[in-house]
Amino acid sequence: MSSNIPTPHINAPAGAFAETVLMPGDPLRAMFIAEQYLEKAELVNNVRNVQGYTGYYKGKRVSVMASGMGCPSIGIYSYELFNFYDVKNIIRIGSAGAISPKLKLKDIVIAMSAYTDSGYINSFGFRGNAAPCCSYELLSKAMAYAEKLPCNVVCGPLFSSDAFYSDASQTETLSRLGVLAVEMEAAALYMNAARAGKNALAICSISDSLVTGEELPAEDRQTGFRNMMELGLALI
């Protein structure tokens, strides 16, 4: 790659991203955040339609970029942002499926840690299951702001799964251990942040429940999680 465009997956020049990047899974959610919340938002990446924008929120420079689905996908993008674009904080703002009966649709989970059995962990030379943790600095700020939100916000562990469809579900076991919800990205983000010496936090809205079978339509997942989006933006 050229010195000005340092990675094969992001075609933005060096310096195009702010120190803090909000990272939804869905590129359409990234576009929605840029259009609805950022001033002077510029598209800085669109390789494979994984859209990244940089603009300003209440006078603070901030970026938002999609991660795609799964540990391998967010693993690539968060690694490149941390290590090639000098990003210091990545805040995942995604969706999760509730496995705790206490959670309802559109509740928010702030992930203190992320259990996983993903093979992605092996890339760090660690053989076995892991539960990497978030940045305490970002977590404490998020919990303080969460008190202002008109919705239920819970802090605790998530489970990052490699498989959306599985014949070997562990949700009942995980629920008994206090895991709140399942998603597919937080563990890889937390591992990359730890390895790079940077900060990461996953904030997830409940889009469906493995307990009740309820689920939100795709459009609500793209544009309906405003409390989560505003919580992520508040950390800037």
Give start and end residues of each alpha helix (H) in the chain: 27-37, 71-84, 136-146, 171-176, 186-196, 218-223, 226-234
86 a catalytic residue: no
Q: Which residue of the set 26, 162, 208, 220 is catalytic?
A: 208
Handedness of CA 144, 147, 17, 42 (dihedral sign): negative
If one counts every other C-beta atom within 10 angstroms of the C-beta of residue 15, the result is 11
How does DSSP assign 91-134, residue by residue?
A: EEEEEEEE-STT--TT-EEEEEEEEE--GGGGGGT--S-B--B-
Catalytic machinery residues: 208
